[in-house]
Chain A
């Protein structure tokens, strides 16, 4: 982690806290992600990893601490020491540079795969339809769906839908991609095709934060693994250390359970 210099920092989170109805889900998270780095968030369900991911693009508003993405304070403006909430418009502008892939895909069901990918660049950025169309077709090709531009999401398998969702996020040319358990809703035989797309993306130098239960993916692709439990970061480091030689008992028992599940 320390090999990344300060000026290449893309995500900088300090003491992030978040509670839902008095139930504290994040209890002071610190996390730095450098440009081009792939970070996997691991941990049992309810550990706060998905919530933290959603805080980065303001699907949840944080209660305390600060998050910066590429130097911009997320969600607030600091005016002479006082924080002001950003307007909806400014929030939307910050989200444009951050791509997000959801566990349940959330493709727009009334649009074809191609229309899904083209929607944001055309409607949000106001780019020319013709240019976007070419780029969208190229992105569909990149995720291996060049033969499906006219298909509606309901006509695609889960794995295909998730790949369209990745292409849709990439169409905005994001600086950062957030993946929220992208393979958890998939049938086992469809997991591989989605992970392959993500692996290629990592190879191309995309900065990625991935909440996942795929230990194989984390071990192979992640530059760093962060293990969370009970709303705090328990330990982090290269996958070779955290997964193969965990220092904390909580990490060890979690990994043990994951291994048992994989064997079943």
Chain B
């Protein structure tokens, strides 16, 4: 036996390939990091203690929660829901729905968010000071024409007052987001194998249910990662609320403190720190969402590699 192991190749103890340039890169980066840290410590203008203080000021915290966080959640909920509907419309066999979806995406993708928010915030109240909801379209005009008093209104809204609430910000950013989400949803839906729809149809499942139960859950695998990106972008775009104007918002509040106390740079540091924290939390959330919707495309807790392999097996049906 020992003879055999001498003749036949045994276990491999090979030397690894050397990577000297890696160490050079490490050295260069280390120098830069050291310089940065030294500047943080020695340059008092950074004033980190004051930045930390700004981060914990009550108006800043209020702006963070009531403006930035609530605004992000609201706009994304509206954007995802509306976007999925518009994405499905885009794939409809009904040419009218397809057209509406196309025009919507074209319009809202073309408009900068800051312009849209400004238009909604100031323009809407100027054009339509009151929003009345009656029993019929044009009921106001009909009532006027027939000489009746307009007592048909169910519900009336003071637009000027409404304009400066977070709701207007959510609507503005949500409408804009829906245009992007529509494209993401469309790509997700189209990524699902046509055989899935056929299998559901062959079981007698109606189209709506096929979309909700079979296609969308699988499309989510493709939809979730870019939606995570969109959410992170949305966190930052809530800083545009000032165009409405809504000032209960992180960036405005933090820089307002900075301007008042002449501590401009610490106020930016405070803002940056909060945005970093928010985005870190979102990345963790995204990880768990991706795991949830990757169900059936790999065993639990797989590495990226095995995940891709088993995905191949599932979708290819090999």
Contacts and interface: CB of A to CB of B under 8 A. Distances in A.
A153 B295 CA distance: 11
Contact of B206 (A92, A102, A105): A92
B210 to A, nearest CB: 9
B214 A108 contact: yes
B298 interface: yes
A95 interface: yes
Contacts of B202: 57, 59, 95, 98-100, 102, 169
Contacts of B200: 108
Contacts of B226: none
Given A92-B205, A111-B296, A120-B205, A102 B199 contact: yes
Contacts of B193: 106
Interface of A is mostly: mixed
A73 interface: no
Interface residues of B, number: 31
A71 interface: no
Contact of A102 (B198, B205, B217, B218): B198
Interface stretch (B67-75, B78-86, B174-182, B309-317): B309-317
B33 interface: no
Nearest to A101: B202
- Looking at chain B's contact residues, the main secondary structure is helix
B213 A152 contact: no
Contacts of B218: 108-110
Contacts of A98: 202
A262 B204 CA distance: 37
Contacts of B273: none
B295 A110 contact: yes
Interface stretch (A137-145, A154-162, A249-257): A154-162
B203 A124 contact: yes
Contact of B217 (A107, A110, A153): A110
Interface in B186-210: 193, 195-196, 198-207, 209
A94 B202 CA distance: 10
A37 interface: no
Contacts of B233: none
Contacts of B315: 109
A86 interface: no
Contacts of A120: 203-205
Interface string A110-134: 1110000001100110000000000
Interface string B294-310: 01111100000000001
A105 B203 contact: no
A69 interface: no
A106 B299 contact: no
A88 interface: yes
B205 A152 contact: no
A123 B209 contact: yes
A168 B205 CA distance: 13
Given A93-B204, A123-B213, 9 more contacts: A92-B206, A106-B317, A109-B296, A110-B297, A120-B205, A123-B209, A158-B317, A168-B203, A172-B203
4 tightest A-B contacts by CB?
A: A96-B204, A154-B314, A106-B199, A100-B202
Interface of B: 193, 195-196, 198-207, 209, 213-214, 217-218, 293, 295-299, 310-311, 313-315, 317-318
13 contacts: A89-B206, A93-B204, A94-B204, A99-B202, A110-B293, A110-B297, A111-B296, A120-B205, A152-B314, A153-B314, A155-B310, A158-B318, A172-B204
